[in-house]
Amino acid sequence: MKRLILVIIFLGCFCSVDAQKVISTKRASDHSTYVKGNNFEGVIFDENYTMLLNNYIDPKYQRFTPTLADIKSVENILQKKLKETYKNDTNNYMRLSSQAIHSRLKKFCRQYFGYIDKSGKKIIHVNCFPKAYEADTKEWNSEIMMVLDGGTSCWRVEVNINDNNLFNLDFNGLG
């Protein structure tokens, strides 16, 4: 009996549990799907959506439509790596902003755009803005949100789901 309890405790400690769960999905437009999770809300854009993406994704890269499994990976990476990746950054603004974003991560809507980089890795470009903005526009689930200014309230990051890391964290200007 003691052995069984020890095995259960051991397995509970060392087995990874997927923290992010998808609760619901709904087709939002002919090129996007709304997805709601236990800790996130966003829209997955199909590979054929290209309007204004050249500002963020090099058009020479092959596009793909992220799957729900991809989105769960992105969200797990954001939860685990956003604060950690920039905690020792010499740029105080980057370090403090990434910590502030991490602490409010649930308060941002996301837009997910997939592409394959030059080394064949799957990258998800994540465009984020406050949930309060979604009430102002119904287009957020069918068109890329481009907000001028907004500082750390509006930000973007690239997530490499093959290597489980993120890069190119970028914020809007302060207007």
pLDDT tens track, the chain, 175 positions = 445 333 333 334 334 445 778 888 899 999 999 999 999 999 999 999 988 677 788 888 999 999 999 999 999 999 999 878 777 777 777 777 788 788 889 999 999 999 999 999 999 999 999 887 665 667 888 988 777 665 567 889 999 999 999 999 888 655 5
Amino acid at 117: D
Question: 92-115 pLDDT, tens per residue?
Answer: 777 777 887 888 899 999 999 999
**pTM of the prediction?**
0.83
The whole-number pLDDT of residue 82 equals 85
Paired tokens of 109: 């809507």
Question: 156-170 pLDDT, tens per residue?
Answer: 999 999 999 999 988
